[in-house]
Amino acid sequence: MTKPQPATEPPAPLSKARVLETAVAFADRHGIEALSMRKLADELGAGAMSLYYYVPNKEALIDGMVDIVFSEIEAPSLELDWKAAMRRRAHSTREALNRHRWAVGLMEGRMDPGPASIRIREAILGCLRRAGFSIAMTIQAYSVQDAYIYGFALQEKGLPFESAAESTEVAEATLQDVSDLAESFPYLAEVVAGHVVSVGYDFGESFEYGLDLILDALDKRRDEG
Amino acid sequence: MTKPQPATEPPAPLSKARVLETAVAFADRHGIEALSMRKLADELGAGAMSLYYYVPNKEALIDGMVDIVFSEIEAPSLELDWKAAMRRRAHSTREALNRHRWAVGLMEGRMDPGPASIRIREAILGCLRRAGFSIAMTIQAYSVQDAYIYGFALQEKGLPFESAAESTEVAEATLQDVSDLAESFPYLAEVVAGHVVSVGYDFGESFEYGLDLILDALDKRRDEG
DNA sequence: GACCGTACTCGTACACTGTACGAGTACGCA
DNA sequence: TGCGTACTCGTACAGTGTACGAGTACGGTC
């Protein structure tokens, strides 16, 4: 009974990669605030302290998780023109951030960036420089785009609905509350009642609109300053 | 001895406002991850459980803290033209978010918005509508601006330096590391070595640049869609 | 006086967190 | 047989949010 291990558990061996991937999957399902070392260990069929052989502490675990998200972002292609390449990576980033909503606040401004994060940054700078942006303009262009992409993801993360269809549902449900406040907040009421409910609100379209606006504006300023 | 209370402690009485303000101050000093009910109670000279008379739980405490930050944001004036008004509220938002860095991930997408948050939203929508934006364009304009502002704050929060002067310091310090990787990541090296160190990087300027870019682009599209 | 309700404070306890420490197992090599 | 290296994990500790319920103080009504 102790020796042959009757095939009930062929437990995949622990490894840093498996720990990180399982942690990402767990956070996708239950949110990052629900992720604890003990629960993650359970998920892996191991004792809690075993994780510390692969990861020095929880902070480093999260660093590793974040770098996995970065690794899912498509780096800008060198064969497309810069606007198309930037648009693609922007969409790719938004998709990764929607798959892993827990990561939104954590991607930027983590010290100890991780290899995937560095590779992406390098590729983006390269794309812009090759397109003829000066160094100073490259920094600006990078900064505006990333602020927009991550800021948009932040908004998306918080909203209580996930699809355009759902948005009208939620809006209709809260319409009573809004109409109660219609006198105090006429513009809010107008937007909710007069547009979101009737037309619906599509996050995808909205993202595209702002992205094009920024990309076009950057294009015009490319050769100036 | 028990009656006259010899003036050693005239402990200001607890109140919801005092609890929230003290929590904000504590988070400003030590970061929000250091904020615990017990430490906050100590700060107030009270027992931990006393806080629960004023706040149902920690989540609600943070909601209240976030609304304090919203209340520090200057609502757009109705007397300025819309671009000037939006620029002012953008700067005001950035400043509030820099005073209270812990709030950056939390402002957007909190359910149960709080009165200050609603008042600001209403004022912004009103400003844009009065400026002649259609309802649909108003939503877009709002979305782009906020994504940019909060995304920029997110970047600012994470960076390991706080002033332009400090930025060159840090860049110089990490220059060795970068030059080690100069062959693998030439564009990154170029940006750090060739620009940040020599010219410095001013977050204020950078914010202004992107903000103007967006505001100008919105102005041009005001009468289209 | 006695009694009650409301406002407010807080000690204790419980389940849960991250992780330090150190003992335990398995295996290849001397 | 012994030793080192790779790996696992039980126990323990300090710290967390908060449920529960007892405690105090004070105003009004008999």
Residue A3, pLDDT score: 36
User: Which of A124-133, A172-181, B197-206 is predicted with the least confidence, judged by mean pLDDT?
Assistant: A172-181
The span from the CA of B80 to the CA of B102, in Å, is: 31
Whole-number pLDDT of residue A10: 55
The per-residue pLDDT for B10 is 55
Pick the more confident residue, A171 or B197.
A171
Q: Could you write out the DSSP letters of every residue in A31-71?
A: -GGG--HHHHHHHTTS-GGGGGGT-SSHHHHHHHHHHHHHH
Ramachandran sector of residue B134 (left: φ over 0; alpha: ψ -120 to 50; beta: rest): beta
Nearest nt to the CA of A59 via C1' is C18
> Strand D-proximal residues, CB under 7 Å?
A 13-14, 46-50, 52-54; B 35-39, 48-49, 52, 57-59
CA-based Rg of chain B, rounded to a whole angstrom? 22
- Give how far A194 is from chain B: nearest CA, Å: 8
Selected residue of A66, A148, A167 to mutate for chain B interface (largest B Cβ count, 10 A): A148
Q: Which of A135, A156, A197 to mutate to test the interface with B (most CBs of B within 10 A)?
A: A135
Instruction: State the Cα–Cα distance between residues A91 and A207, nearest whole angstrom.
Output: 9
pTM of the model: 0.92
Q: Give first-to-last CA distance, chain B, whole Å.
A: 76
Residues ≥6 apart with Cβ < 8 Å to A100: A24, A27, A28, A69, A72
Checking if the pLDDT of A50 tops 60, the result is: yes
Q: Which of A110, A213, A216 sits opposite B158 (nearest CB)?
A: A110
Q: Label each residue of A63-91 as H, E or C.
A: HHHHHHHHHCCCCCCCCCCHHHHHHHHHH
The C1' atom of D25 and the CA atom of B48 lie apart, in whole Å, by 20
pLDDT of residue A4: 40
Distance from CA of A185 to the nearest CA of B (A): 6
Q: In this predicted structure, what is the pLDDT of residue B225?
A: 55
The encoded tokens of residue A164 equal 């355009």
Residue A152: Cβ within 10 Å count: 28
Alpha-carbon distance of A152 to B88, in angstroms, equals 21
DSSP one-letter string for B88-141: HHHHHHHHHHHHTGGGGGGSTT-SS--HHHHHHHHHHHHHHHHTT--HHHHHHH
Query: In degrees, to the nearest 5, what angle opens at C-alpha B42 toward C-alphas B39 and B43?
Result: 90
pLDDT at B178: 66
Per-residue pLDDT of chain B (225 residues; tens, 9 = 90+): 333 434 444 567 899 999 999 999 999 999 999 999 999 999 999 999 999 999 999 999 999 999 999 999 999 999 999 999 999 999 999 999 999 999 999 998 787 889 999 999 999 999 999 999 999 999 999 999 999 999 999 999 877 677 888 888 887 777 666 667 778 899 999 988 877 766 778 899 999 999 999 999 999 998 675
Residues 6+ apart with CB under 8 A from A178: A185, A188, A189, A192, A193
Residue B18: exposure state from Cβ atoms within 10 A (0-12, 13-18, ≥19): middle
Residues A161, A166, A169: CA angle, nearest 5 degrees: 110
Ramachandran category for residue B48: left, alpha or beta (phi over 0 → left; psi -120 to 50 → alpha)? alpha
Q: What are the chain A neighbours of B209 within 8 Å (beta carbons)?
A: 140, 144
Determine the Cα–Cα distance for residues B56 and B49; give it in Å rounded to an integer: 11
CA distance A3 to chain B (A): 47
For residue B137 the two structure tokens come to: 């364009």
What are the b/e assignments for B124-163, b being 16+ CB within 10 Å?
Answer: bbbbbbebebbbebbbbbbbbbbbbbbbbbbbbbbeeeee
Among chain B residues, the shortest Cα distance to A135 is held by B191
Q: Determine what percent of chain A is predicted with pLDDT higher than 70.
A: 91
Which one-letter DSSP state was computed for residue B6? -
CB atoms within 10 A of CB A200: 16
Cβ neighbors of A154 (< 8 A, separation 6 or more) are A104, A105, B105, B108, B109, B147, B150, B151, B154
Check residue A111 and give its pLDDT.
Answer: 74
Q: Estimate in Å the CA B49 to C1' D20 gap, whole number.
A: 11
Mean pLDDT (chain A, rounded): 89
Angstrom distance (rounded) from CA B216 to CA B209: 11
